[in-house]
């Protein structure tokens, strides 16, 4: 289920970001680029990177304020293993009206409510690495108490780093983790495997590496920009009896890429379930 349209109007009037590392920093950059005034944001991070401290200073974002007020929304972007230690300081910031948005891998809505006892509206989200260039893919699930306008706010916040897909149930987050969360690594492996195959076909390693990298990046860009489905784009470049068809005969065989990918995603999903306990 795709969610409501995001919009500047849905960004919260007051926001606390906890953890301004890779993901938190990308989110903050996205919000500021979307027009969220820095004065509406407070960042809590005991040792922010210099670039993050500069970004906060440049936009008037309060960095580690002495006593931040209870915000309309609080975004949690610390490492999952840091939640327990951080919770005591955060719990007073989260009231029954505060929307909590967490990107913590493996931390369930129930875990978050246990640590932040007054929280009611909790959105658990799983973004992915291309969030760092605002081309991320995020799956999100909301606690039943989350009101429609809070869901819109969560959507606007997560859309700061790319696509947002709302899930019917939180249990689907493990499948999202296995598809889009871990997915960028599968695509990087495709570039590696294509380069290695190029070397086996006789190309110098550096040439094969550059060609494979640009092929994956260029095809990804084309897919991102095109209104067509991936299968249509594939068919469009496959002449019957041609070279691409010969390769796809191998990749699309009964023991080809599709069953391999199904097994890989199933393994990642099982692991996500184990890690979430
Ligand atoms: N990176 C991704 O692609 C990705 C994708 C999906 C989900 N996530 C989720 O995003 C979360 C953050 O990951 P990340 O890669 O951004 O990690 P990260 O770069 O290590 O960022 C975490 C930040 O939180 C800070 N921090 C630690 N304890 C804190 C506390 N008590 N209060 C406030 N800030 C605190 C850390 O400071 P120190 O460095 O000083 O400890 C660091 O700056 C994780 O839960 C992860 O599961 C990340």
**Domains, the chain, ordered by start:** 8-173 (3.40.50.720), 183-276 (1.10.3730.10)
pLDDT in tens, 173-183: 999 999 999 99
Structure tokens at 56: 């906060």
Say whether pLDDT at 48 is over 60: yes
Burial status of residue 230 (CB atoms within 10 A of its CB: 0-12, 13-18, 19 or more): exposed
Q: Whose CA is nearest to atom 48 of ligand 1?
A: 23
Confidence band, pLDDT 50/70/90 cuts, at residue 68: confident
Ligand 1: does its nearest atom lie under 6 Å from the Cβ of 45?
A: yes
Q: Mean pLDDT over residues 210-232, rounded?
A: 97
| Per-residue pLDDT at 8 | 62
| Per-residue pLDDT at 272 | 93
Ligand 1: does its nearest atom lie under 6 Å from the Cβ of 43?
A: no
Which atom of ligand 1 lies at the shortest distance from residue 105's CA? 47
Q: Mean pLDDT over residues 58-75, rounded?
A: 94
Ligand 1: does its nearest atom lie under 6 Å from the Cβ of 76?
A: no
Say whether pLDDT at 1 is over 60: no
Ligand 1: does its nearest atom lie under 6 Å from the Cβ of 46?
A: yes
Say whether pLDDT at 216 is over 60: yes
Cβ atoms of 158 and 125 within 8 Å: the answer is yes
pLDDT in tens, 149-158: 999 999 999 9
For residues 43 and 28, give the distance between their C-alpha atoms in angstroms, rounded to a whole number.
Answer: 9
Confidence band, pLDDT 50/70/90 cuts, at residue 276: confident
| Per-residue pLDDT at 145 | 97
pLDDT in tens, 7-40: 567 999 999 999 999 999 999 999 999 999 999 9
Between strands 122-126 and 41-44, the pairing is: unpaired
Distance from residue 196's CA to the centre of ligand 1 (Å): 34
Distance from residue 256's CA to the centre of ligand 1 (Å): 37
Ligand 1: does its nearest atom lie under 6 Å from the Cβ of 104?
A: yes
Confidence band, pLDDT 50/70/90 cuts, at residue 5: very low
| Per-residue pLDDT at 275 | 87
For residue 162, the SS3 value is strand
Q: For residue 179, which of 269, 275, 257, 256 has the smallest C-alpha distance? A: 269
Q: What is the pTM of this model?
A: 0.94
Ligand 1: does its nearest atom lie under 6 Å from the Cβ of 19?
A: yes
Q: Whose CA is nearest to atom 21 of ligand 1?
A: 21
Q: For residue 77, which of 52, 100, 103 has the smallest C-alpha distance? A: 103
For residues 56 and 53, give the distance between their C-alpha atoms in angstroms, rounded to a whole number.
Answer: 5
Look over the chain and give the mean of its residue pLDDT values, rounded to a whole number: 95
Match 């040439």 to its residue by tokens.
207
For residue 16, the SS3 value is strand
């Amino acid at each position: 289920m795709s969610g409501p349209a995001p919009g500047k109007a849905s960004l919260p009037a007051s926001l606390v970001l906890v953890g301004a590392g890779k993901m938190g920093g990308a989110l903050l950059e996205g919000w500021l680029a979307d027009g969220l005034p820095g004065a509406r944001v407070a960042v809590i991070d005991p040792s922010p990177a210099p670039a993050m401290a500069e970004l906060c200073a440049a936009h008037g974002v309060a960095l580690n304020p002495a006593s931040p007020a209870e915000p309309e929304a609080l975004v949690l972007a610390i490492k999952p293993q840091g939640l327990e230690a951080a919770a005591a300081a955060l719990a007073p910031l989260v009231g029954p009206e505060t929307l909590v948005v967490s990107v913590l891998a493996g931390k369930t809505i129930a875990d978050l409510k246990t640590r932040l006892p007054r929280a009611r509206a909790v959105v658990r989200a799983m973004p992915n690495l291309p969030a760092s260039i605002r081309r991320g893919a995020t799956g999100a699930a909301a606690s039943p108490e989350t009101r429609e306008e809070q869901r819109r706010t969560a959507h606007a916040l997560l859309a700061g780093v790319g696509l947002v897909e709302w899930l019917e149930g939180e249990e689907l987050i493990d499948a999202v983790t296995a598809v889009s969360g871990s997915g960028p690594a599968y695509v990087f492996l495709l570039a590696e495997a294509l380069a290695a195959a190029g070397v086996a076909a006789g190309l110098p390693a550096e040439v094969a590496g550059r060609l494979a990298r640009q092929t994956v990046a260029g095809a990804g860009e084309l897919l991102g920009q095109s209104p067509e489905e991936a299968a249509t784009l594939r068919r469009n470049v496959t002449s019957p009896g041609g070279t691409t068809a010969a390769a796809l005969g191998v990749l699309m065989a009964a023991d080809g890429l599709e069953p391999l990918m199904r097994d890989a995603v199933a393994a990642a999903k099982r692991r996500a379930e184990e890690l979430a306990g």
